[in-house]
Amino acid sequence: MHAITVTGPGGPEKLDWTEVPDPVPGPGEVLVDVAAAGVNRADIMQRQGAYDPPPGASPYLGLECSGTVSALGPGVSGWSVGDEVCALLTGGGYAEKVVVPAGQLLPVPHGVGLVQAAALPEVVCTVWSNVFMVAHLRPGEVLLVQGGSGGIGTMAIQLAGSIGARVAVTAGSREKLDFCAELGAEILIDYHTQDFVTELRRATDGAGADVILDNMGGGDYLDRNVQALATNGRLVIIGLQGGTTGELDIGALLAKEGAVMATSLRARPPREKAEIVAGVREHVWPLIEAGRVRPVIDRELPMSDAADGHRAMDGGHIGKVLLVAPRQR
């Protein structure tokens, strides 16, 4: 088979479409012929040498894919050769074949194409696990999404809206904010020209956000996110685009009786991922099949052009970038 390999830490030019050995499913695993893979920020970090795959994971990039089951490992039940699926991966999606623990498979939702289903697993599992399982967002509460126009942001807007939460977003252009509004965001903040703490307080009569989904992490974002929290607010950090360190005003956090949490989906053991996937199948898949939630796809590119997919992640995209395997084009 062919896969995208990383020839060394650096820019998109370090990605190479090359022939590699076929993977073989072990006990409890399924082999999937890949139709498409989603591009995620973690892939960029791994290419740059800043995010090594966990022990035992595939060395190739790609944390989500869609495709067709082509073989079952020992002990697998509930799936058959020929099933159309999408999958949450620990790595390996940028390839023509990938091995997946059976508990991390999802059926392609009715109404979603096989290629387009690759836009779902990572973002849906990230939003479901963090906004609902960890932060326990409730109807009527305010969710602030830092970076509302990306894959995770566009999904968070829709899922929060589906339970009756009020959604605030930050984004870097009017076009992106308008798109977020079309998905249901009510409070729109341009981070180039507006201070999100001030704007959020103005829009919530001084209360702030009950839940903040943050992809920035350190720098001054940590302190400002705490300032933006409502009483009993929950800050969930899922990315490090703003840096790995920041100063936390514990007094301010105590005054708000707030919580700061940080999670990583990729490093969780298969059992925990399977629990998240099961929750997504139960709670989110019906919303997708009913047309209330949809994948947002910016562009589809040949998998061999993965470098262009990584370049597209530099800020001009809205939603997901997909890499399509050769047999699908």
Closest C-alpha to 161, from 186, 136, 134 = 186
Residue % of the chain over a pLDDT of 70 = 99
- HEC profile for the chain? CEEEEECCCCCHHHEEEEECCCCCCCCCEEEEEEEEEECCHHHHHHHCCCCCCCCCCCCCCCCEEEEEEEEECCCCCCCCCCCEEEEECCCCCCECEEEEEHHHEEECCCCCCCCHHHHCHHHHHHHHHHHHHHCCCCCCCEEEEECCCEHHHHHHHHHHHHCCCEEEEEECCHHHHHHHHHHCCCEEEECCCCCHHHHHHHHCCCCCEEEEEECCCCCCHHHHHHHHEEEEEEEEECCCCCCCCCCCCHHHHHHHCCEEEECCCCCCCHHHHHHHHHHHHHHCHHHHHCCCCCCCEEEEEEHHHHHHHHHHCCCCCCEEEEEECHHHC
Question: pLDDT band at residue 165, thresholds of 50, 70 and 90?
Answer: very high
Mean pLDDT within 106-126: 98
* pLDDT number for residue 73: 98
**Is it the case that residue 231 has pLDDT exceeding 70?**
yes
**Is it the case that residue 218 has pLDDT exceeding 90?**
no
* pLDDT number for residue 327: 78
* pLDDT number for residue 267: 87
- Share the mean pLDDT of the chain: 95
Mean pLDDT within 262-268: 91
Q: Domains of the chain (ranges plus CATH)?
A: 2-120+266-328 (3.90.180.10), 124-262 (3.40.50.720)
* pLDDT number for residue 314: 83
Question: pLDDT band at residue 242, thresholds of 50, 70 and 90?
Answer: confident
* pLDDT number for residue 245: 87
- HEC profile for 229-270? EEEEEEEEECCCCCCCCCCCCHHHHHHHCCEEEECCCCCCCH
**Is it the case that residue 246 has pLDDT exceeding 90?**
no
Residue-wise pLDDT for 292-329, tens only, equals: 999 999 999 999 999 999 999 987 899 999 999 997 65
**Is it the case that residue 194 has pLDDT exceeding 80?**
yes
* pLDDT number for residue 329: 53
Residue-wise pLDDT for 1-52, tens only, equals: 999 999 999 999 999 999 999 999 999 999 999 999 999 999 999 999 999 9
